[in-house]
Chains A and B, each alone.
Chain A
Amino acid sequence: MSSSKRLKQRKVLLMGKSGAGKSSMRSIVFSNYVAKDVRRLGATIDVEHSNIKFMGNLMLNLWDCGGQDGFVENYLLHSRSHVFGGVAVLIFVFDIESREFAADVINYGNIIRALEECSPNAKVFCLIHKMDLVQSGFRHSLFEQRAEHIRAASESFGEAVEFFPTSIWDQSLYKAWTQIIYFLIPNAQTIESMLQDLAEVIHAREIILYERTTCLMVTHITKGTELQNPFTDRFERISSILKTHKHSMAKHMGVPAGSANFAELQIKTGRFMFFITRLTENTNLAVSLPPYEYIFNSARVNISLMRPRFAELELSNKKRPDIGSRTESNDDSRERGEGAN
Chain B
Amino acid sequence: MGDENLHQSPPISNVDQSAQQTLIRYLQDLPEADKPSASNAPSRKTPNSRANDGKPRLLLMGQRRSGKSSISSVVFHKLPPPETLYLETTTRIKKEYMHSFMDFQVWDFPGHLNYTDPSFDTEEIFGEIGALIWVIDAQDDFFDAVTKLNELIQYLQENYPEIIVEVFIHKVDGLSDDYLSDTYQIIVDRVQDELEDSGHPLGNVSFHRTSIYDHSIYEAFSKVIQKLIFEIGPLESLLTTLCANCKMEKAYLFDVLSKIYIASDLSPSDSSSYEISSEYVDLVVDISEIYGWDRNELEGGDTEQIEEDPEVGNQDAESLIVLEKKNGSYLYLKEINKYLALICIMGDDSPTDRKALIDYNVGVFQETLKQIFPR
* Residues on A facing B (Cβ under 8 Å): 36, 132, 135, 169-170, 205-206, 225-226, 228-231, 234, 237-238, 241-242, 244-245, 248-249, 251-253, 255, 259-272, 274, 288, 290-291, 341
Measured CA separation A253–B335 after assembly (Å): 25
Measured CA separation A149–B288 after assembly (Å): 40
Whether the pair A265, B319 counts as a contact (CB closer than 8 A) is: yes
Instruction: List 17 A–B pairs whose Cβ atoms lie within 8 Å, in order of A's numbering.
Output: A206-B291, A226-B291, A228-B298, A229-B293, A244-B282, A244-B283, A245-B283, A248-B276, A253-B325, A259-B325, A263-B323, A264-B321, A269-B292, A269-B313, A271-B291, A271-B314, A272-B291
Which residues in chain B, 292-345, are within 8 Å of chain A measured between CB atoms? 292-293, 295, 298-299, 302, 304-305, 307, 310, 313-325, 328-329, 335
Evaluate whether A229 and B304 lie within 8 angstroms (CB atoms) in the complex, with A249-B323, A262-B321, A265-B319 already known. Answer: no
Evaluate whether A267 and B322 lie within 8 angstroms (CB atoms) in the complex, with A132-B82, A244-B279 already known. Answer: no
Residues of B within 8 Å of A234, CB to CB, are 290
Residues of A within 8 Å of B310, CB to CB, are 271
- Please indicate which of the listed interface residues B82, B272, B291 has the most CB atoms of chain A within 10 Å of its own CB: B291
- Please indicate which of the listed interface residues A251, A253, A270 has the most CB atoms of chain B within 10 Å of its own CB: A270
Measured CA separation A251–B275 after assembly (Å): 9
Residues of A within 8 Å of B290, CB to CB, are 229, 231, 234, 237-238
Whether the pair A252, B276 counts as a contact (CB closer than 8 A) is: yes
Cross-interface CB contact of B288 among A255, A261, A269, A290, cutoff 8 Å = A269
Measured CA separation A267–B288 after assembly (Å): 8
Q: Is B284 an interface residue (CB 8 A)?
A: yes
Whether the pair B324, A263 counts as a contact (CB closer than 8 A) is: yes
B300 CB to closest chain A CB, in angstroms?
11
Q: Apart from A238-B290, A260-B323, A261-B324, what 7 extra A-B contacts exist at CB < 8 Å? A: A135-B86, A230-B293, A231-B289, A241-B283, A263-B323, A267-B319, A270-B307
Measured CA separation A225–B293 after assembly (Å): 11
B109 CB to closest chain A CB, in angstroms?
26
Residues of B within 8 Å of A263, CB to CB, are 322-324
B166 CB to closest chain A CB, in angstroms?
26
B296 CB to closest chain A CB, in angstroms?
9
Measured CA separation A290–B291 after assembly (Å): 10
Closest to B295 in A: A225
* Residues on B facing A (Cβ under 8 Å): 80, 82, 86, 213, 272-273, 275-276, 279-280, 282-284, 286-293, 295, 298-299, 302, 304-305, 307, 310, 313-325, 328-329, 335, 355
Whether the pair B314, A169 counts as a contact (CB closer than 8 A) is: no
Closest to A225 in B: B298
Measured CA separation A248–B329 after assembly (Å): 13
Whether the pair A265, B275 counts as a contact (CB closer than 8 A) is: no
Evaluate whether A237 and B286 lie within 8 angstroms (CB atoms) in the complex, with A225-B298, A288-B291 already known. Answer: yes
Whether the pair B320, A266 counts as a contact (CB closer than 8 A) is: yes
Residues of B within 8 Å of A262, CB to CB, are 321-324
Evaluate whether A255 and B305 lie within 8 angstroms (CB atoms) in the complex, with A238-B290, A244-B282, A271-B314 already known. Answer: no
Residues of B within 8 Å of A255, CB to CB, are 325
Number of A-B contacts (CB under 8 A): 126
CB-based closest 6 A-B pairs: A269-B314, A248-B279, A269-B317, A252-B276, A267-B319, A272-B291
Whether the pair A274, B80 counts as a contact (CB closer than 8 A) is: no
Whether the pair A291, B280 counts as a contact (CB closer than 8 A) is: no
Whether the pair B291, A274 counts as a contact (CB closer than 8 A) is: yes
B248 CB to closest chain A CB, in angstroms?
15
Closest to A254 in B: B272
Residues of B within 8 Å of A251, CB to CB, are 272, 275-276
Measured CA separation A259–B328 after assembly (Å): 11
Residues of B within 8 Å of A264, CB to CB, are 320-322
Residues of A within 8 Å of B314, CB to CB, are 269-272
Residues of B within 8 Å of A228, CB to CB, are 295, 298
Measured CA separation A11–B293 after assembly (Å): 40
Evaluate whether A229 and B291 lie within 8 angstroms (CB atoms) in the complex, with A248-B276, A252-B276, A266-B319 already known. Answer: yes
Measured CA separation A269–B329 after assembly (Å): 23
Cross-interface CB contact of A271 among B282, B292, B298, B328, cutoff 8 Å = B292
Residues of A within 8 Å of B320, CB to CB, are 264-266
B321 CB to closest chain A CB, in angstroms?
5
- Please indicate which of the listed interface residues A229, A252, A288 has the most CB atoms of chain B within 10 Å of its own CB: A252
Residues of B within 8 Å of A132, CB to CB, are 82
Residues of A within 8 Å of B325, CB to CB, are 253, 255, 259-260
- Please indicate which of the listed interface residues B80, B213, B324 has the most CB atoms of chain A within 10 Å of its own CB: B324
A25 CB to closest chain B CB, in angstroms?
17
Residues of B within 8 Å of A206, CB to CB, are 291
Residues of A within 8 Å of B316, CB to CB, are 269-270
Closest to A206 in B: B291
Residues of B within 8 Å of A238, CB to CB, are 287, 290
B111 CB to closest chain A CB, in angstroms?
23
Whether the pair B305, A249 counts as a contact (CB closer than 8 A) is: no
Residues of A within 8 Å of B280, CB to CB, are 245, 248
Measured CA separation A249–B355 after assembly (Å): 22
Closest to A292 in B: B303
Measured CA separation A245–B292 after assembly (Å): 20
Closest to A35 in B: B82
Whether the pair B279, A245 counts as a contact (CB closer than 8 A) is: yes
Whether the pair B287, A270 counts as a contact (CB closer than 8 A) is: no
Closest to A291 in B: B304
Closest to A36 in B: B213
Measured CA separation A269–B313 after assembly (Å): 8
Residues of A within 8 Å of B317, CB to CB, are 267-270
Residues of B within 8 Å of A248, CB to CB, are 275-276, 279-280
B224 CB to closest chain A CB, in angstroms?
24
Whether the pair A270, B322 counts as a contact (CB closer than 8 A) is: no
Measured CA separation A242–B279 after assembly (Å): 10
